Amino acid sequence: MRQSSTRAEWMGVLETAAKLSVEQSSAVWVWIMQELRLGPQYFLAIREAVQQGRWRTARNPKTYIKTVAKREALKMGLVREDGGNLVPVNSGRSEGEETSSEEALEYLGHHYDSPDAAKGEDGIWRAGAAGERDCSDPVEEHDTYREWLTSEVPR
């Protein structure tokens, strides 16, 4: 199949996966795993999401399966809940250049304050955090995201 699959293609593939055993539809499962770009540790969670069948009413079945599979994998204990949202406290490398912790915090602050959608490392697009402000959010008590992150650090 093509790189970019349509909703109809996904519906057909998922119907096949839901009706047949894994052994009977191994090529279909290989395709699903490759398209979702999730590691093998997610297989059982993806299978569970397919078996639930709620993807049939989803606007985008691929995104639905990927989202539910991540949730199911956490419930099943197949993956840890770190989500890749950890901020390193030491310096690191970004595109071959050294970056300090301060630069990393500034980068995160910029993305937090942006209303623009951004594509995450998992390939899913999400609305920018600045799109809607939540007055009950403790971050709103601070002028910058960096200030909020460092507010609880002992001095």
Rg of the chain, C-alpha, whole Å = 20
End-to-end CA distance of the chain: 57
In whole angstroms, give the CA distance from residue 154 to residue 62. 44
140 confidence band (pLDDT: 50, 70, 90): low
How many residues would you count in the chain?
A: 155
What residues does each domain of the chain span? Answer: 7-76, 92-150
Instruction: Provide the CA 68 distance to its chain's centre, in angstroms.
Output: 10
Nearest residue to 17 via CA among 41, 42, 46: 46
Residue 18: Cβ within 10 Å count? 15
Amino acid 3: pLDDT? 47
* Dihedral Cα 31, 37, 40, 41, nearest 10 deg: -140
Tell me the per-residue pLDDT of 43-89, one tens digit each, with 9 for 90 and over. 999 999 999 999 999 999 999 999 999 999 999 888 886 555 444 44
pLDDT score of 90 more than 50: no
Residue 152: Cβ within 10 Å count? 7
pTM for the model: 0.52
Residue 139: Cβ within 10 Å count? 15
